[in-house]
Structures are given as structure tokens and as C-alpha cells.
Structure 1
Amino acid sequence: MADLPIAAVICGFVGAVLFAVSAVAQQRAASDVPEGDALLARLIRDPRWWASLVGDAGGFAFQIAALALGSVLVVQPILVSALVFALPLAAHYSGRRVSRSMWAQAVALSAALAVFLIVGDPTEGHSYASWHRWVLPLAMMFGLIAIGVAVAGAVRVPTLRALLLGTAAGLLFGISAALTQHVIELFGHGLGAVFTSWQTYTMAACGMVGLYLQQRGYQVGPLSASLPAFTVAEPLGAAFLGMTVLDERLRSGPLGTAFVAVAVIVMCVEAVRLSRAQAAEV
């Protein structure tokens, strides 16, 4: 851990705070739109939604700065900490309180994040990989996303729909994050390199579709149903691509890797438990 990029960690946490504030504002705006109405058409007329996009832009700027200073495996899991900031804000504006069990689950998520960073001690990989290395990992992720969206459209339980849509959106943002560092570097080779690269269009498409699914998740269910799934799926998706495509690695050894695997399981389980706890209160 001696060479953990502290500046990247700080930028990541600042981005997480901005994303948390934006998520609360977006959920409040999206939840006011009846399901039968055109979601985006209503949102673009809501000042709260535009204000939240400013916060998102700030969070994304800090995320880009963090990715320029550290690896995907370091930066993306830090976004899980957005839950700790978002849950009390959401509770305040909805008139509910954050129960002790929900606080415990949010803290467990953060603790699992700390284990991932401290024990896993991720290395930096490459920002670029040839397209054929991306094909299978991306196909697997797009398949999971398509299944999640299809199931969300078939079920009628609001919290489950929000969880599935949040997961799908998080995976799309994870793909976008894994491509961001390379796209940033392309600007050093001129705009021609940027606009002729498949990574640029894939990053943008994943970001836009992910944003729409994120808003849909906010519309159909409470923040504590969609946001935990989103904040866990994004770093896990980015980490999967970082390890399978960009040659990022954990320096934890066999025993440490087992602890990291447990930490990942804890993050996933606690995200689901947070959603179920919210469902029990609705």
C-alpha cells in the first residue's frame, strides 16, 4: 500500500460526494414522473434534474482526474462510498430516517471497499488494449445488462425493478469508466484520433444508456433500492474489465485474494440487503 496514489483516492472520494448529492436530486425528480409519462421529456423541464447534472459533471471531472492519477481498480471501488453520503440525504428529503440496520449495511459496504483497496493493493495496468481483447468481456457484460433490463421489464415489484435497473446502469457506467483513460489520452493525438476511435463512441453510448436506465431506476423505486446496486455494479464492472482486458492485477497473494473475494461478496450482499430493508419500509 506504500504506493497507493493518495491524490487519486482523494479525487475519487470528492467525486463520490458529488455523485451522491446528484443521485438524491435525480431520484426526487424522477420519482415525481408517473410511469406512463415520457421520463426524459418530463425531466428536461425540471430544474432539479438540470442542477443534478451539474453535480454529475463535477463528479465525472473528479473521476477523470482520479483515473489519470490511479488505476481503474483503485478509483472505481471508491465510488461505493457515495452510499454513506446519499442515504442520509435521501432520508432527510423523504421524511424517513435511516435505520440502524441500513447504517450497518452501508458501513459494511465501506469496510468491504477498504479491504479491497488495502489488501488487494491493485496495480496499474494499460490504458489501451487491442479490440479483440475487449470482445469477449464486453459481450459477457452486455449480455448481463440485457438480461437485467429484460427481467426488470417483466417483474412488478418496484424495489426489485429499481435494483435490476440500477445494476444494469452501473455496469454500463463501469464499461464507460474502463474506456475513459484511453479516450483522454487520445486527445493528445488530436481530435481525429478521438473521433475515429471505437472506444470514444462506446464510452459515450454506454454513458447515455446508463444515464437513462439510472433515471428509470430512480423513477420506479426508492433511492436505497437502486443506488446500492448501481454503486456496487459500476466498480465491479470496471474492475472486471481492468483485470481481463487492461492487465490490472491484485498484489494480495492467495490468502489476500481470498479476503478480497469475500469483500466483493459482502458488497454485493449488502447492496441487496439495503434494497430489501427499504422494501420492508414502503
Structure 2
Amino acid sequence: MAVLSVVFAVLAAVSNALGTVLQRRAALTVPQSQGFRIGLMWDLLRTPIWLFGILGVVFAALFQGVALATGPLAVVQPIFVLELPFALLIAGVVFKRQMSRAGWVSVGLIVTGLGLALGSAAPSGGNPQAPAALWFLALACCGGAMAVLCAAALRRPVGPARAACLGFAAAIGYALTAALMKSATDTLDHDGVAAFFEAWQTYAFAAVGVGALFLLENAMQAGPLVASQPALTLGDALISLSLGVTLYDEHVRTGWWLLPAIIGVGLVLTGVVGLSRLDILPQETADSAPRRTAAAPRGARLSENP
């Protein structure tokens, strides 16, 4: 079952990466948002290519649901780190852009670091459902943290600090969405469709997921990718690991295993920052700020010459 969850988690990362590429292309036609606005989503909804990108996200959610139903949350969500290099590789084909040597090195660091971190932590076990008291605590902590980060972002001008705050808030939202989805898919698997639509987790993961998407779209417009992407990528993985351990009683190895796990996380961070730097549009300067647009859910901002 663990192998099956890993396979579907990788498929989810690939599908979401494809959606990212399509949405990036659509985002080139969307006016820049100077603030924190609902209208950004309306602009994107009126773009057909963006809707095809959302279809990729829908398939990613289906794959993610299967992965969460067959494996630990602490395994499935960190694999989504691979979405960033997948998105860049797909963009290279779609936009006919070659990956630089530095880009390939960053991809190698991400893959190696992820394998080292997961292999060292070796998440396993866990309960299929979490107690109501733990859910209350998790929702309160995650919701409170997201509110604080959003408030901090709104008090700062457009730039790296604002982007990082919104990116980390989106990461918490995506991690919480995955935790809620795991509970809902377990209900579907064991109790059927009727119980699935009666479970509060079903509606909660849909609502939190939409909120996380909204935060991410604004994070990508708030500042450079090098500020928001590491907060999003590593925040999602680390918060998901924490929720897996606290909510679902999943087990990870500690002791001396923490050393290679930390090294693995460091390699992933280095690779993510490297790819983010390579992927910043050359037009993203003060003189060309109006060309900065929202990127796709959970993905990278992919540069293209229009």
C-alpha cells in the first residue's frame, strides 16, 4: 500500500505541474493585482486556458485522494515538493525552453534531498481517523496562524516579506486541506458515498482548499517567487508532517536519524531556492511591475517570452 500511495502522490504532482504550466500561460493575459483582492479569481475564471489548468488540478486532487487513502499523510504531502521541478520540465517542452545546467543541479538536489529526508524519517503507521478534540485544536492552530500571516502580509508593501507571509499561509492551508481530505477519503472508502457527503471534513477540505488557492494566487502577485516558493513548498511538507504525527498518530524515526533528515531538508531548500531564482522573469523589476501576474496553484511562476 505504501508503494501505491507514493505512485499516486507522484502522479498528483505531475498533474498539478501540468495545470501550473497551463495556468501560467493564462496568467500572462491577466492584469496585475496591486492588492489583496477577490477580483483576481474572477479575472482568471474568464480565461479558458486557466480552466484547463484547473482540470489538471482536479485530476491532481483525485490522485492525491487515492494516495492519502492508501498511505500516511507524512509521506504523501512531502512528495509534492517534486511539483516544482516537474512544472519546469513540462514548461521546457511546452514553451520550448531548455533547462540550464544550474537548473538540472537544483532538480537533482530536490530529488536527492526528498529521498534522503523521507528515507530517514520513514513515516509509517497511524490511525485512519483523528479524534474530534485533536481536530478542534488543529483547526484552531492552523486557522489562527493563517490569520496572523495574512494580517502581517497586509501590513507590508508588495515585496518579498509580503509574498513569504502569504506563501506560508497558503502552505498551511494546503497541508490542512490534505489532512481533511485524508479523513474524508477514509470515510468514502469504508462507509460509502452517502457517509462521505455527510462528513463535515468533506466540506471543510473543499472550503480550506479554495481559501489556500486564493492566498497562493495573491502570494504570487505580492512579490518575487524566490520569497514565496520556499515558504510554500517546505511549509506544506513540514506542516503536513506535523499534522500526520499529531492528528493521525503517524510515526517517524528520531534519534540519529534526524541528522540525515535535516540534511535532506536542507538539500530540498537549496534546490527550491535555486529553481525559484532561475525562474524569475527578467521583466520583474520596478519598471515592469505591471507585467507580474498570478501563477497557478502550488506551482512555480514559469517564464515565457510572449
User: Structure 2 length as normaliser, TM-score?
Assistant: 0.78
Residue 209 of structure 1 corresponds to: 211
Kindly provide the amino acid, as one letter, of the partner of residue 155 in structure 1: R
Which moved further from structure 2: 259-268 or 49-58? 259-268
Instruction: Tell me what 1:56 maps to.
Output: 57
Aligned 8 A contact 2:164 2:219 in 1:
yes
In the alignment, what sits opposite 1:119?
120
Q: What is the Cα deviation at residue 176 of structure 1?
A: 1.0
| Structure possessing the higher relative contact order (Cα contacts under 8 Å, 6 or more residues apart) | 2
What is the deviation of 1:232? 2.5
Q: Distance in 2 between matches of 1:151 and 1:48?
A: 33
The equivalent residue for 1:14 is 11
CA distance in 2, matches of 1:204, 1:117: 28
User: Equivalent residues in 2 for 1:95-244 (5 A)?
Assistant: 98-187=99-188, 188-189=190-191, 193-221=195-223, 226-244=228-246
Q: How much does 1:235 deviate?
A: 2.4
Give yes or no for contact 1:229–1:272 (8 Å, CA) kept in 2: no
SS in 1 for 2:116: helix
Deviation digits for residues 5-33 of structure 1, max 9, x if unmatched?
22211111111111111122223334523
Residue 27 of structure 1 is aligned with which of 21, 24, 30? 24
Stretches of structure 1 that go unaligned for 5 or more consecutive residues are none
| Residues 69 and 196 (structure 1), Cα distance of their counterparts in 2 relative to 1, 3 Å cut | closer
Shift of 1:84: 1.1
Deviates more, 1:96-105 or 1:173-182: 96-105
CA contact under 8 A between 2:225 and 2:277: conserved in structure 1? no
Q: Is the 8 A contact 1:84 1:107 kept in 2?
A: no
**Offset at 1:127?**
2.2
The structural deviation recorded for 1:124 is 2.5
TM-score under structure 1 normalisation? 0.84
Output the CA distance in 1 between the equivalents of 2:133 and 2:33: 40
Q: Work out whether residues 17 and 83 of structure 2, in 8 Å CA contact, stay in contact via their aligned partners in 1.
A: yes
Q: Which runs of 5+ in 2 are unaligned?
A: 285-306
Distance (Å, rounded) in 2 between the aligned partners of 1:233 and 1:28: 26
Distance 2:87 2:226 in 1: 9
1:263-274 to structure 2, matched below 5 A, reads 263-268=264-269, 270-272=271-273, 274=275
> What is the CA deviation profile of residues 46-76 of structure 1, one whole-angstrom value per residue up to 9, with x for unaligned ones?
0011101110011111111111221111111
Given the superposition, is the C-alpha separation of residues 151 and 253 from structure 1 closer, same or farther in structure 2, using an over 3 Å criterion? closer
Identity of aligned residues (%): 33
Take 1:92 and 1:219, find their aligned partners in 2: how far apart are those partners?
A: 25
Superposed displacement of residue 125, structure 1: 0.6
Counterpart of 1:34, as a letter, is Q
Q: CA deviation at 1:226?
A: 4.0
- Aligned equivalents of 1:156, 1:48: Cα separation in 2: 30
Distance 1:137-1:106 versus aligned 2 partners, 3 A rule: farther
Matches of 2:174 and 2:233, distance apart in 1: 10
**Distance in 1 of aligned mates of 2:27 and 2:227:** 14
CA distance in 1, matches of 2:220, 2:22: 10
119-128 vs 96-105, which deviates more? 96-105
TM-align CA RMSD: 3.0
Q: Choose which of 248, 259, 268 in structure 2 pairs with 1:246.
A: 248
CA-to-aligned-CA distance 1:102-136 (integer Å, 9 cap, x gap): 44334322222101222221102112111212333
Residues 202 and 8 (structure 1), Cα distance of their counterparts in 2 relative to 1, 3 Å cut: same
Letter in 2 for 1:147: V
